[in-house]
Amino acid sequence: CATINPLSASSDPNNGDDDDLMESSLVSRFTSPRIDDAGLPLADALIAQIVAPSFQVFWLGLSQSPLPSWLRSASLFRTRGSLVAPTLIHGAGLATCWLAGALSAKAFESESFDVSRGKGYGTVISRIVQAGAFATGILILSTQTSLFF
C-alpha cells in the first residue's frame, strides 16, 4: 500500500482541484501525520505539560507574584501539594495546543529538525515559530471560548 502525497500530484490549475488538494493536505497533517522520531511528540508533550507550567509556578513563588486564576485552588485551606493538580490540568491544555501547532507546522518530520551537513537552523526556527503561532491562536481561541460559555 503506497502513500500518496496530495501536493505532489499534478493538476490543471484551471479546474479548481488545487483547493481540494490544499484542503486534503491540511487535514492530513492532523489525521495522518508523518512523524519521523516517535519520541519527539512524547517529549514535547511532557515538556509542555509538566516542565513549563512547573517552572512558571516556581518562578511566581520565588518572585512572590500574584497567582494566576488557573492556579488558585477551590479549597479555602492550602494543603500540601494543592498546586499540583491545577498545574497538570493547565499543562494538559498547553500540551494539546503545542502538539496541534507542531502537527500543523510539520515539526515532527525529519526535515524540520535535521541540521546535519550544513543545513543550518533556518528550517528549525521557522517551524518552531509556525508551530508557536498556531498553538498561541488555539490557546487564545479556547480561552475565549471557555470564558464565553
pLDDT score at 78: 66
In sequence order, the 6+-apart residues with CB closer than 8 A to the CB of 75 are 82
Confidence of residue 18 (pLDDT cuts 50, 70, 90): low
Q: What is the mean pLDDT of residues 54-60?
A: 92
Contact between 6 and 29 under an 8 Å Cβ cutoff? The reply is no
Taking all residues of the chain, what is their mean pLDDT, rounded to a whole number?
82
Least confident of 15-29, 54-68, 89-103, 123-137: 15-29
Q: Which three cell numbers, joined as nine digits, stand for 67?
A: 497567582
**Percent of the chain scoring above 90 in pLDDT:** 44
**Percent of the chain scoring above 70 in pLDDT:** 79
Distances (CA, A) of 99 to 76, 77, 85, 86, 130: 35, 35, 21, 20, 12
Q: How confident is the model over 127-148, as pLDDT tens digits?
A: 999 999 999 999 999 999 988 8
pLDDT score at 23: 58
pLDDT score at 97: 96
- Amino acid residing at 15: N
Q: What is the mean pLDDT of residues 63-67?
A: 91
Least confident of 39-43, 78-82, 118-122, 135-139: 78-82
